[in-house]
Amino acid sequence: MSAVLVVVFAMLGAFVRVPYVALGPGPTYDTLGAVNGEQVVSVEGRPTYPTGGELRMTTVSLNDDVTLFGALGLWVSGRFAIAPREEYFQPGESDEEVRRQNIQQFRDSQSNAEVAALRSLGYPVKVVVKEVVSGSPADDVLSPGDEIVAVDGRRISNEDDVIAALKGTRPGQTISITFRHDGQPTRTESVRLARHPEGPQGFVGFQPIDRADVPFEVDIALEDVGGPSAGLMFALAIVDRMTPGKLVGGERVAGTGEISEKGQVGAIGGISFKLVAAKEAGATAFLVPERNCAEASAQAPEGLRLIKVSDLDGAVRALQNLDAGRPVPSC
């Protein structure tokens, strides 16, 4: 009987999935280089400049297909952490749904990186509709991708202008929206504001977002990567390609950080795994979001220099100083 129990336990441990995920160092990608023969970051319709060194974005691997024995083996290896599955998957949420969410976050990070980089370089932005709330006043007027030119007669230059134009409005009030659809001439429509679900002001029902307004194209060609934390490294690659000189010289620099359209660098998860991945990829310096500095300092591999960054312009200056041998902000 005991032999049977041992066999049953072995079968369960080897083949039955447990409600945990395994997290560990993921692959890194040089945003100044190529993947599968295709340049990760390219600019078409405008002259670019030679780059040097590497700017490596880092990732975290997540394995959802974990058995009891597999989880124990990964944990004992010291390279992986085991966490409850519900921390990464909502109840009833499929792997495919999570994958789509991660891909959308990754695409948003690419768009934010482009806007932040071009804004830093002095290029203009425009405001477009990111989403329209179904059944809202805007639902019959606007579509995703429409360019917002004015709201109630107020000229719109960035997404904050939309918020300012709607501040002080009330439900039932009629306002005008001037917009451009799919490159057509501008037109103006009136909408009657609804009640806002989170405040006393009127509710129009669309989400504005800043996008680059330039006569050339920036392309980021990297697939099958999820999450928002590559934004900083994409933005730096765009800046490096579009400005004279080599931002990183011959250095191999890795990093991470979610980036906003205005260039602010936000904290990310899995910093300890990304530091390991960077070290194994040969990086000698790592760009760390300021809010991740304490965790990064406690877990950094030996010989990996931590550079603290809070925004894109600061990250550019830090890389320039690193290349010139000048002091850089450290964690």
Model confidence pLDDT, tens digit, residues 229-257: 899 999 999 999 999 999 998 889 999 99
What is the model's pLDDT at position 92?
Answer: 66
> Are 33 and 141 in the same domain?
no
Assigned domain for 254 exists: yes
Assigned domain for 83 exists: yes
> Are 171 and 308 in the same domain?
no
What pTM was estimated for this model as a whole? 0.85
Q: How many CB atoms lie within 10 A of CB 264?
A: 15
> Are 29 and 115 in the same domain?
yes
Instruction: Evaluate the CA torsion angle 8, 11, 15, 21 in order and state its sign.
Output: positive
Q: Is the pLDDT of residue 65 over 80?
A: no
pLDDT (mean) for 121-133: 95
> Are 71 and 203 in the same domain?
no
What is the model's pLDDT at position 8?
Answer: 35
Given 162, 192, 212, the domain boundary residue is 212
Question: Phi/psi at 267 (nearest 5 deg)?
Answer: -70, 160
> Are 134 and 268 in the same domain?
no
> Are 46 and 106 in the same domain?
yes
Query: Which of the residue ranges 15-29, 38-52, 139-153 would you say has the lowest mean pLDDT?
Result: 15-29
Given 193, 212, 231, the domain boundary residue is 212
The total number of structural domains that make up the chain: 2
Model confidence pLDDT, tens digit, residues 25-42: 999 999 999 998 899 999
> Are 106 and 230 in the same domain?
yes
Q: Which CATH number goes with the domain that contains 298?
A: 3.30.230.10
Each residue of 138-156: b (16+ CB within 10 Å) or e? beebbeeebbbbbbbeeeb
Kindly state the tokens that stand for 174: 């009629």
Q: How confident is the model at residue 68 (pLDDT cuts 50, 70, 90)?
A: low
> Are 208 and 220 in the same domain?
no
The residues annotated as belonging to the active site are 229, 274
> Are 59 and 206 in the same domain?
no
| Domain with 152 in it | 125-212
Q: Which CATH number goes with the domain that contains 201?
A: 2.30.42.10
> Are 220 and 82 in the same domain?
yes
Assigned domain for 10 exists: no
Block residue for tokens 């006569």: 215
Q: Is the pLDDT of residue 225 over 80?
A: no
Assigned domain for 133 exists: yes
Distance from the first to the final alpha carbon of the chain: 59
> Are 270 and 295 in the same domain?
yes
> Are 86 and 191 in the same domain?
no
Assigned domain for 131 exists: yes
Q: Strands, DSSP E only, in the chain?
A: 20-30, 34-35, 38-39, 41-44, 54-63, 81-84, 125-132, 147-151, 154-155, 174-180, 187-192, 194-195, 202-203, 206-212, 217-220, 252-255, 258-259, 265-266, 285-289, 305-309
Alpha-carbon distances, residue 137 vs 73, 171, 284, 309 (angstroms): 55, 11, 53, 41
